[in-house]
């Protein structure tokens, strides 16, 4: 019985590690080739928000949190992508749920991804962690 538990834990940890490595690889690959970041100004971190017109949490929770973050931090680039009008970009970035936010470092490399509504405090902490 204990062997099965150890094996299950090992498999879970291995899958989590593989997911993290794949996610990091995908974020770096996208940042190097995506035209979305062609206007990204190097030297200032950024936030990319994937949203849609029909997404109520995007409008009533995520946008106010981002506005609060921008008021607090100030020097952050903000890129908003509407997945209805630009589904190819959402697919390239691996967006599967809305809202999704990516935290970009000063060189434009995604360092964190948040699936679902994320508080301004968590976004601020993520930005501070990469600075």
| Mean pLDDT value across the chain | 91
Contact assessment for residue 40 and residue 77, using Cβ atoms and an 8 Å cutoff:
yes
Structural domains counted in the chain: 1
Structure tokens, 69: 């973050």
Contact assessment for residue 78 and residue 49, using Cβ atoms and an 8 Å cutoff:
yes
| 19-50 confidence digits (pLDDT tens) | 888 877 777 776 667 888 888 888 999 999 99
Sign of CA dihedral 27, 54, 125, 106: positive
Q: Supply the range of the domain harboring residue 10.
A: 2-130
Q: What is the pLDDT along the chain (131 residues), one digit of tens a residue?
A: 889 999 999 999 999 999 888 877 777 776 667 888 888 888 999 999 999 999 999 999 999 999 999 998 878 999 999 999 999 999 988 899 999 999 999 988 899 999 999 999 999 999 999 97
Distances (CA, A) of 62 to 6, 29, 39, 118: 40, 26, 23, 7
Among 116, 122, 36, residue whose Cα is nearest residue 73: 122
d(CA 79, CA 125): 19
d(CA 95, CA 114): 10
- The total of other beta-carbon atoms located within 10 Å of residue 63's CB is 16
d(CA 131, CA 81): 24
Report CA Rg, the chain: 17
CATH classification at residue 83: 3.40.30.10
């Amino acid at each position: 019985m204990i062997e099965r538990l150890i094996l299950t834990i090992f498999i879970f940890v291995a899958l989590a590690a593989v997911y993290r490595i794949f996610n990091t690889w995908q974020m770096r690959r996208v940042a190097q080739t995506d035209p979305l970041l062609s206007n990204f100004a190097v030297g200032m971190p950024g936030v990319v928000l994937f949203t849609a017109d029909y997404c109520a949490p995007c409008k009533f929770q995520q946008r106010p949190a981002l506005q609060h973050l921008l008021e607090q931090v100030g020097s952050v680039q903000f890129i908003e992508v509407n997945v209805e009008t630009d589904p190819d970009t959402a697919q390239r970035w691996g967006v599967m749920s809305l809202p999704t936010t990516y935290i970009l470092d000063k060189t434009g490399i995604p360092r964190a991804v948040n699936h679902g509504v994320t508080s301004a405090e968590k976004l601020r902490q993520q930005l501070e962690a990469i600075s």
